[in-house]
Amino acid sequence: MEVNKKNTNKNLFSNNLIRIFVPSVILLLSVLSYYFYNNFNKMVSESIMRSFNSNVISDVYDLSFEQLNINIITGDLKIRNVIIRPKETPLTRYPYINSSFVLKTSRIHLNKVNLYDLLKVNRLKVSKIEIEKPEISILLHGRNPIIFPFKETGKNLEADNNKFKNYLESYFLREFVLTDALLTMEDEDAGMSYKIGALNISVSDLFLNQQTGVDSLSFRKADLMLNDFITNSKTGSIRSAKSKNYELSIDSLKIQQRPDTIDYQVANFKSQITDWEIFTSDSIYKIGANSVELSYKDKAIHVNELIMKPAISREAFNQQNKFQKEQYSITVKKMDLLNISFDRLKFNQKLFIAQVNLQNADVVIYKDKTKAQDLKRFPEFPGQQLSEIGIPLTINDLNISESTLAYEEKKTDGDLAAVKIGRLNLKAKNISNQTPDSLLSVKLNGFLENKVPFDMMLVFSYKIPGFSFKGAFKSFELTNLNPVIQAFAPTSVKKGIVDAITFSGNGNQKKATGNMEFLYHDLGLTIDLQKFSKFKNSLITFAAKSFLNSSNPISPEKPARVVAFTVERDVNKGFINLIVKSVVSGLKETIHPSKENRKLNHDSNRAVRKEQRKQEKLISK
């Protein structure tokens, strides 16, 4: 019994000892752990500050943070409430620094920090840096903005006041991630401001290296995404621009900068921008697209739903211009730029595109003829206009398919006239300002008022201001053109069939000359005499005052009239006006020939009759 009692007392004592000792040990370990953790955190925090202060960046910028959490096992650091901002008074003056930035973030995550190096030598080595939802503001000055100090080439470091501070000569980072950053930037020299609602950046295997005479940067892969991007400009041709989303992906980039050159190598890069629009500085046009995709490897740019539309009404546009000026409205369903030589652009600053394809383009040109004509404006031909483009340019082939071109005009009497070409297809070759001895050729076909088929060939010289043209209209009923004829002239067609129209000619700075064969029969016109009194310089003048040939040829036995035309160029108008005047002159000469063309046709008929008699004699023999 006594033994059992002793055992019972012993067990009771042991249990009481365990109840007291174990919690005490746990409490003691917790206190020690807390003390050690806080002191270790303090040591790491101080090491981070010493690492920052050992770099010349600390001469210009301050770093502050409020809380640091460490995972000793993984070496991960979470730094909270971080602020990097310019010092009010720099410790050392760097005259070349003309710009600055401020970064504020609630959390920076440093992954796999080498704690030994950090505590021992104040060297911060990390595998990955993550910055979450920072607010970044950047202020840029000068044409060459510089934000941080750098090691100046050829400078004697022993004589440097900061010889005990480090420059960022070489640094490797496995991964850098910036998430949902709010960025604002002001470029005072360019007069531009930028705002990004959410900036996301991911860079892998980033390597920075600065050696004497050579600065280099490289990375394996980088992804950039901007959401809700807005920019405004006080100067230049663009007033504002915005985009819902922009993405850029770059594979394997290497850049080397020397005092006189910048070299770079890139395996591939792709970019895509969606729902973007630009307003011109004069607020006249809005330019935009549903999406734009660029691929360096594929050598291509693809654009969907491209637009260039007026941002103001026609009345407001006319009020802004003293003289006649065209207002454009353009939409393109799809545009592809293929086989772009990015290398030529990089090394030679020359833009070469093998092929440009536009599908379903819709172009409307409006002009107010109640305005005065600018007599100091002298439009050049396309060959000469291309030579004035600042960048060296070559486009081998331009193809426009299934498109529409409309011209609308407010006439001097205030009425609106319009003409439209539907189902338009165009092919242009050798669009260039690099081959002065070559030619620019353009082929097009379509349907005037969607009913009258035609085709045309144009060839422009780059060397001299001039071009040649050749065209044809296939058979159609003249009454199909009544909407156009009535809009531009005080007349309409009662009846008439065009069997064919073929014409050709040459134009230069002063005039155009050529020939036309206009085959038709049963022509009948109705003249509006009330409007005719105000109408001048037109084919209709001859129709009203002269006898018209109702057919060509006049009879099946006689040959068709082929006429020559000569028209003077209006030097204040472009080549299209010269072609239109040539066609109208050819039609006029066919319906009511001039003395010269009557003689020409008389000689032609006599030659035909002579040949016929010759053939008849041969047959009779």
The 10s digit of each residue's pLDDT in 568-595 is: 999 999 999 999 999 988 888 888 788 7
Domain boundary among the residues 420, 447, 463 is at 463
545, burial (CB in 10 Å: exposed 0-12, middle 13-18, buried 19+): exposed
* Domain contains 29: no
How many domains is the chain partitioned into structurally? 2
Compare 211 and 343 and report the one with higher pLDDT: 343
Report which secondary-structure segment, H or E, holds 232: strand 214-233
Model confidence at 352, in pLDDT bands (50, 70, 90)?
A: very high
- Average pLDDT estimate for 271-289: 91
Residue 172, number of CB atoms within 10 A of its CB: 12
| Cβ-contact 71, 93 below 8 angstroms | no
Model confidence at 152, in pLDDT bands (50, 70, 90)?
A: low
Residue 495's DSSP bridge partners are 524
Contacts of 71 (CB under 8 A, 6+ apart): 77
* Domain contains 17: no
**pTM for this prediction:** 0.82
- Average pLDDT estimate for 224-235: 91
Same domain, 456 and 476: no
What pLDDT does residue 611 have? Answer: 62
- Average pLDDT estimate for 440-450: 95
CA–CA gap between residue 438 and residue 429 (Å, rounded): 11
CA–CA gap between residue 368 and residue 317 (Å, rounded): 10
Tens of pLDDT, residues 603-612: 666 665 666 6
Range among 51-55, 146-150, 271-275, 343-347 rated most confident:
271-275
Contacts of 537 (CB under 8 A, 6+ apart): none
Phi, psi of 247 (to 5 degrees): -130, 140
CA–CA gap between residue 84 and residue 574 (Å, rounded): 59
* Domain contains 219: no
Compute the mean pLDDT over every residue in the chain, rounded to the nearest whole number: 84
Share of the chain above pLDDT 90, in %: 50
Same domain, 449 and 531: no
> Which domain does 392 fall in, by range?
313-463
CA–CA gap between residue 484 and residue 419 (Å, rounded): 6
- Average pLDDT estimate for 469-474: 96
* Domain contains 131: no
* Torsion over CA: 105, 106, 111, 113 (sign): positive
- Average pLDDT estimate for 40-65: 83
Model confidence at 25, in pLDDT bands (50, 70, 90)?
A: very low
Same domain, 511 and 550: yes
Domain boundary among the residues 421, 440, 463 is at 463
What pLDDT does residue 34 have? Answer: 44
On the question of pLDDT at 156 being above 50, the answer is no
Burial of 30-42, coded b for 16+ CB within 10 Å and e otherwise, reads eeeeeeeeeebee
Same domain, 447 and 490: no
- Average pLDDT estimate for 462-471: 96
What pLDDT does residue 157 have? Answer: 41
CA–CA gap between residue 24 and residue 68 (Å, rounded): 29
CA–CA gap between residue 399 and residue 332 (Å, rounded): 13
| Cβ-contact 506, 468 below 8 angstroms | yes
Same domain, 456 and 593: no
Tens of pLDDT, residues 523-566: 877 655 455 444 444 444 544 444 567 888 887 777 888 899 99
Compare 214 and 132 and report the one with higher pLDDT: 132
What pLDDT does residue 482 have? Answer: 82
Min mean pLDDT across 484-488, 490-494, 544-548 is at: 544-548
What pLDDT does residue 608 have? Answer: 58
322, burial (CB in 10 Å: exposed 0-12, middle 13-18, buried 19+): exposed
What pLDDT does residue 400 have? Answer: 97
> Token pair 């045309």 is at which residue?
456
Q: Provide the phi-psi class of 312: left if phi over 0, else alpha when psi is between -120 and 50, else beta.
A: beta
Compare 445 and 483 and report the one with higher pLDDT: 445
Domain boundary among the residues 436, 463, 490 is at 463
Same domain, 476 and 591: yes
Tell me how far the alpha carbon of residue 303 is from its chain's centroid. Answer: 9
Min mean pLDDT across 160-169, 234-243, 463-472 is at: 160-169
Same domain, 321 and 430: yes
Same domain, 483 and 598: yes
Q: How many Cα neighbours within 13 Å face the side chain of 59?
A: 19
CA–CA gap between residue 188 and residue 174 (Å, rounded): 35
Pairing of strands 170-187, 128-132: parallel
- Average pLDDT estimate for 33-56: 70
* Domain contains 589: yes
- Average pLDDT estimate for 115-125: 75
On the question of pLDDT at 67 being above 90, the answer is no
Model confidence at 619, in pLDDT bands (50, 70, 90)?
A: low
Q: Which of 363, 362, 358 is nearest to 399 (CA)?
A: 358
CA–CA gap between residue 597 and residue 542 (Å, rounded): 15
* Domain contains 388: yes
Same domain, 607 and 570: yes
What pLDDT does residue 40 have? Answer: 59
What pLDDT does residue 230 have? Answer: 93
Residue 219's DSSP bridge partners are 253
Same domain, 355 and 459: yes
Pairing of strands 192-211, 491-508: unpaired
User: What is the 3 state secondary structure string of 267-300?
Assistant: EEEEEEEEEEEEEECCCCEEEEEEEEEEECCCCE
Same domain, 451 and 475: no
- Average pLDDT estimate for 141-168: 64
* Domain contains 92: no
Phi, psi of 401 (to 5 degrees): -130, 150
Residue 136's DSSP bridge partners are 103, 183
On the question of pLDDT at 228 being above 60, the answer is yes
| Cβ-contact 249, 271 below 8 angstroms | yes
Burial of 125-147, coded b for 16+ CB within 10 Å and e otherwise, reads bbebbbbeebebebbbeeeebbb
* Domain contains 98: no
Same domain, 437 and 480: no
Phi, psi of 33 (to 5 degrees): -65, -45
Compare 7 and 581 and report the one with higher pLDDT: 581
